[in-house]
Structure formats: C-alpha cells, structure tokens
Amino acid sequence: MEVIQEGTLVIGITGGIGCGKTTVSHFISELGYIVISTDEKAKELMVTDFNIKNKIFRAFGSESYNSDGSLNSQYISDLVFGKTDEHTKRLSQLNSIVHPPVIDYMIEEVQKYEEKGEPLVFIESALIYEAELEEGFDYVIVVDSTEENAIQRITQRTGMTEEIARIRMKQQISQQEKKQLADFVIENNGTVDELKQSVKTLMNIVKNLKVIK
C-alpha cells in the first residue's frame, strides 16, 4: 500500500541538450523554489576537484587543462563527442569519472534540505535517465522541444556545429523515451514567455503534490 508521508518532495528536471532545462530551472528558481543544478556542479568539479582533475588528466592527457587550470573544453568535447566507438568509449570513461561525485553531491544536497525540513526541492540534471537515477526522485519533469529547435538553440548559444549537436543528441536517450518515462512534460517550442507561463502552470500543480513512499 502507498503511504503519503511528510518529507521533502524531490523533483528532477531533465531533457535533451538544448531543450531548455536551464531556462526552466531559472524560472522555477525565480518563483522562489530551491533548484540544485548538478550540470553546473559537474562543470565546477571538473575544474576544482583534485581527484577528478587527476583522473581526467591521466585518462585524456595534459591537454585536458589549459595553463591557467581551466578545462580545455574543446579538446575534451572533440575526444568524447563523435561518431566512432572510441568516442563512445571515452564518453563512458569521462562519465565514470564525473558522475559518481556529482551523484554524491546530489544526495548530500537533498539530505541537507531534508534536515532543514524543506518541503520541496528541484534538481536539474541532464543525466537522470542515462545514469538511471530516476528512482531517487519522487517525480521527474522532462523539458521537451523539437530536434530542430534544440539544434538551433545549441548552435546559436555555443557555436557548436550542427553535426556535433546531432551526434550529442544521439548519444543520449531519445526525447520520445524520456517523455514516456516522465511524470510531467513541459513543451518548449514557443517563445521564452510562453515557456515561463507553462512553468508557472506546472508549479501550481506541483506545489500541491505529496511524497508517496
């Protein structure tokens, strides 16, 4: 039997690259909710965490970092995002270095807010389904947009080529599958203002949800 109990409701926000996860998270945060971004944390840890840096250095060589200590993102991207089996192998290798400490961070943050008695916490993470983390969430929101919109946004924002953007998409679980697994889907194929409105509507539903254990 399912029992409704008091506790922190943990809601994941995920979706394919360029679908609008960060923008949705920003709107949720603007509405006053707590949003933890694991994608940002992953980027931060790759630069600040000695163990991670060391492992990346050993796996991919000294070119992985610039002389000022920043990550040589272009070099790493070229190694892990591509069509060959070697690229796929290197991506798994990078994930096996970065995911565990990011997951630890996620768990620690949730515990921290649980101890504080926080009723609701959102976690933005690109890899909820890829890393099979969905069991750790009470509900998951998938941000969805068409492949063309996502490609256009990524290439505009990052200068990444369309080819690489498509390859990166293919290395993730498809949006179709993610939407089937999701508890809620936010469609992001209109304007940013329309997206903001969809987020507000969804938050009116989400704020009344209970933890079901």
Contacts of 55 (CB under 8 A, 6+ apart): 97
Selected range binding ligand ATP among 10-18, 62-70, 80-88, 170-178, rule: CB under 6 A: 10-18
Q: What CA–CA distance (Å, rounded) separates 52 from 56?
A: 6
List the x/- string, 32-71, binding to ligand ATP by CB under 6 A.
Answer: -------x--------------------------------
> Which residues within the stretch 174-203 sit at the binding site for ligand ATP (CB under 6 A)?
188, 191-192, 195
User: Minimal distance in Å, beta carbon 115 to ligand ATP?
Assistant: 29
What's the closest the beta carbon of residue 40 comes to ligand ATP, in angstroms?
9
Identify the residue among 46, 142, 154, 186 touching ligand ATP (CB under 6 A): 154
Question: Which of 39, 183 has the CB closer to ligand ATP?
Answer: 39
Instruction: Look up residue 137 and give its DSSP letter.
Output: -
Residues 6+ apart with CB under 8 A from 194: none
For 152-172, letters b (16+ CB in 10 Å) and e give: ebbbeeeebeeebbeebbebb
Residue 167: its H or E element: helix 162-170
Helices 85-115 & 50-60 angle (0-180, nearest 10): 170
Q: Which of 12, 18 has the CB closer to ligand ATP? A: 18
Residues at the interface with ligand ATP (CB under 6 A): 15, 17-23, 39, 126, 153-154, 157, 188, 191-192, 195
